[in-house]
């Protein structure tokens, strides 16, 4: 029996009467409407392979199609029934001015959710029942591309879908409105969420004059999104297939796959135009910024620290930064969490980028008791300064070398490692090392080498954002 006050339990007669009423109702069977139009909107005008060579570096086949598209094909036995595809091109949202970047940032997110060709999202879900393939177009700040996968059996469906990303994108006002409604619901949480407000403040503290980026969509931003504008930008990003590098890796049979590639990738539109990203990166904050604000009732603090410095780019320096990142992560975990019991975990990241300009970014975040914010901040700077002044301990360097080589060895048995490595090296020139090359490079670093690179952790200028409980 229910205990809630005011709830009336139906009598046995009332239940039986309801059942009899249901039996007498006129009902019609449910009809599941299935889109009977062909999945492929139109038959491509197939191209031909005009060049077929063996690429010794990747131990793969490299083909050039008659429309100018370059495709790398690598057969692997990492997974019995998996094929991965990555198409990667330069440009991205950097091609668009500040007043268009909001729609550019969200173009792929919205248009790819609208279905493809003649198929709505619901139609597409029904069509894919019993099949296994997926295609995800994306537009990032400096690039655009397509990530896709399939089983061996369904690879042609995957290629047809990739073809239609260029030739038959779809816009759907209902999907757009539904997505905006979801974002509005999320945006309403921002004023009452300390974590959301921390993310917004920390982002704005780092890039105070940034007109292109944001931590999350606000209601004002959502009102500025235009479906037609996003559709236009999306189509512009996927209009010239020759501007992309295609890498297909997995359990592939070239005899059957190459004719499909000639049809669906060789049949894509191309031109001689080549896009390149534009450097629109916002400037990092100058000086020492300390943003302390109060919000929420939980008796805990959140701390974010960031620096950004010019970087002397070289392949060796990039690797040294990765090694240093691992060393500092070990040291902060050992000191801040284990010895000082100051936090459950300290997130540390030191990264270096070549594009759009060479920079290093250091990022630290932790949660702790409010009264320990200054103590733990000083302890973090102390550990970083020790490495800057004296270099790392040999034991930590050895741990990181071992971990990096082990992780790389594991990653080299993933198809996605090969698609991204091949595409990025051929698009941007970033090296894709063999396992032997990687081990040799990692193991060549000494304590003195890492101390030299530790200069990129100097913190004469920094941003710190602190969330404390209160109002």
Q: Please report the DSSP string for 99-127 in residue order.
A: GGHHHHHHHHHHHGGG-BTTB-HHHHHHH
Proportion of the chain above pLDDT 90, given as a percent: 87
In 10 A of CB 52, how many CB atoms?
12
Tokens of 351: 């990264």
- From CA 351, how far away is CA 354, in angstroms rounded? 10
**Mean pLDDT value of segment 294-298:** 92
What's the confidence (pLDDT) of residue 1? 44
Residue 246 has pLDDT above 50, yes or no: yes
Beta strands in 311-353 (DSSP E): 346-353
What's the confidence (pLDDT) of residue 39? 95
Considering Cα of 201, then 226, then 158, then 120, what sign does the dihedral take?
positive
Residue 4 has pLDDT above 50, yes or no: no
**Mean pLDDT value of segment 105-114:** 97
- From CA 278, how far away is CA 226, in angstroms rounded? 23
Q: What are phi and psi of 416, to 5 degrees?
A: -70, -30
Beta bridge partners of 75: 250
In 10 A of CB 84, how many CB atoms?
25
What's the confidence (pLDDT) of residue 42? 94
pLDDT by residue (tens digit) across 200-219?
999 999 999 998 988 889 99
Residue 443 has pLDDT above 80, yes or no: yes
Axis crossing angle, helix 373-390 with helix 315-332, rounded to the nearest 10: 140
In 10 A of CB 377, how many CB atoms?
18
Class of residue 255 by CB neighbours under 10 A (exposed 0-12, middle 13-18, buried 19+): exposed
pLDDT by residue (tens digit) across 393-425?
999 999 999 999 999 999 999 999 999 999 999
What's the confidence (pLDDT) of residue 67? 97
pLDDT by residue (tens digit) across 280-291?
999 999 999 999
Q: Which residue has the higher pLDDT, 6 or 120?
A: 120
Residue 233 has pLDDT above 90, yes or no: yes
Residue 333 has pLDDT above 50, yes or no: yes
What's the confidence (pLDDT) of residue 32? 59
Model confidence at 367, pLDDT cuts 50, 70, 90, reads: very high
pLDDT by residue (tens digit) across 159-171?
999 999 999 999 9
Q: Which residue has the higher pLDDT, 30 or 128?
A: 128
Asked if 76 and 254 touch (Cβ cutoff 8 Å), the reply is no
Model confidence at 329, pLDDT cuts 50, 70, 90, reads: very high
**Contacts for 34 with CB less than 8 Å, ≥ 6 apart:** 123, 126
**Mean pLDDT value of segment 90-96:** 96
Find the helix or strand (DSSP H, E) in which 325 lies. Answer: helix 315-332
Residue 359 has pLDDT above 90, yes or no: yes
Tokens of 432: 């894709």
CA distances to 12, 13, 15, 20, 21 from 24, in Å: 19, 17, 15, 7, 5
Asked if 69 and 267 touch (Cβ cutoff 8 Å), the reply is no
Q: What mean pLDDT value characterizes the chain?
A: 94
- From CA 256, how far away is CA 268, in angstroms rounded? 19
Q: What are phi and psi of 387, to 5 degrees?
A: -70, -40
**Contacts for 120 with CB less than 8 Å, ≥ 6 apart:** 35, 114, 170, 172
Q: Which residue has the higher pLDDT, 191 or 92?
A: 92
Whole-structure pTM over 0.85, yes or no? Answer: yes
What's the confidence (pLDDT) of residue 6? 54
Model confidence at 2, pLDDT cuts 50, 70, 90, reads: very low
Residue 14 has pLDDT above 60, yes or no: yes
Strands across the sheet with 288-294, in order? 288-294, 462-468, 301-310, 359-368, 346-353
Helix (H, G, I), strand (E, B) or coil at 70: strand
Greatest distance between any 2 Cα atoms in the chain? 88
pLDDT by residue (tens digit) across 24-41?
676 666 455 677 899 999
- From CA 282, how far away is CA 431, in angstroms rounded? 27
Model confidence at 7, pLDDT cuts 50, 70, 90, reads: low
């Amino acid at each position: 029996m229910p205990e809630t006050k005011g709830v009336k339990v139906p009598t046995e007669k009332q239940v039986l009467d309801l059942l009899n009423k249901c039996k007498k109702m006129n009902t019609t069977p449910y009809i599941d409407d299935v889109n009977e139009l062909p999945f492929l909107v139109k038959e491509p005008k197939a191209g031909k392979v005009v060049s077929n060579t063996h690429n010794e570096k990747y131990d793969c086949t490299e083909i050039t199609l008659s429309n100018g598209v370059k495709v790398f094909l690598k057969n692997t036995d990492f997974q019995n029934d998996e094929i991965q595809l990555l198409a990667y091109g330069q440009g991205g949202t950097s091609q668009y001015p500040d007043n268009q970047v909001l729609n550019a940032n969200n173009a792929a997110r919205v248009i790819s959710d609208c279905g493809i060709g003649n198929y709505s999202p619901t139609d597409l879900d029904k069509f894919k029942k019993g099949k296994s393939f997926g295609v995800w177009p994306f537009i990032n700040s400096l690039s655009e591309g397509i990530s896709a996968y399939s089983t061996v059996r369904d690879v042609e469906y995957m290629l047809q879908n990739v073809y239609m990303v260029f030739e038959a994108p779809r816009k759907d006002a209902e999907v757009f409105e539904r997505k905006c409604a979801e974002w509005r619901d999320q945006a309403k949480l921002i004023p009452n969420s300390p974590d959301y407000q921390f993310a917004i403040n920390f982002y704005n503290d780092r890039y105070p004059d940034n007109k292109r980026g944001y931590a999350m969509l606000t209601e004002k931003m959502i009102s500025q999104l235009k479906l037609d504008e996003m559709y236009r930008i999306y189509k512009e990003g996927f209009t010239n297939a020759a501007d992309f590098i295609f890498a297909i890796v997995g359990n592939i049979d070239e005899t059957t796959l190459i004719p499909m590639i000639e049809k669906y990738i060789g049949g894509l539109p191309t031109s001689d135009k080549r896009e390149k990203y534009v450097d629109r990166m916002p400037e990092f904050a100058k000086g020492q910024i300390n943003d302390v604000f109060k919000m929420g009732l939980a008796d805990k603090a959140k701390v974010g620290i960031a620096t950004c410095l010019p970087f002397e780019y070289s392949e060796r320096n990039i690797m040294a930064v990765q090694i240093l990142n691992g060393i500092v992560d070990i040291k902060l975990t050992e000191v801040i969490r284990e010895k000082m019991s100051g936090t459950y975990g300290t997130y540390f990241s030191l990264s270096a980028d070549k594009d759009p300009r060479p920079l290093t970014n250091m990022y630290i975040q932790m949660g702790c008791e409010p009264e320990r914010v200054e103590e733990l901040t000083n302890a973090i700077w102390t550990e970083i300064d020790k490495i800057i002044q004296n270099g790392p301990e040999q034991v930590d360097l050895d741990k990181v070398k071992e971990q990096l080589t082990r992780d790389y060895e594991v990653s080299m048995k993933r198809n996605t490692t090969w698609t991204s490595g091949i595409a990025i090296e051929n698009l941007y020139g970033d090296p894709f090392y063999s396992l032997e090359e990687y081990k040799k490079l990692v193991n060549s670093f000494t304590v003195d080498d890492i101390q030299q690179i530790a200069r990129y952790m100097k913190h004469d200028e920094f941003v710190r954002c602190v969330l404390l409980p209160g109002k």
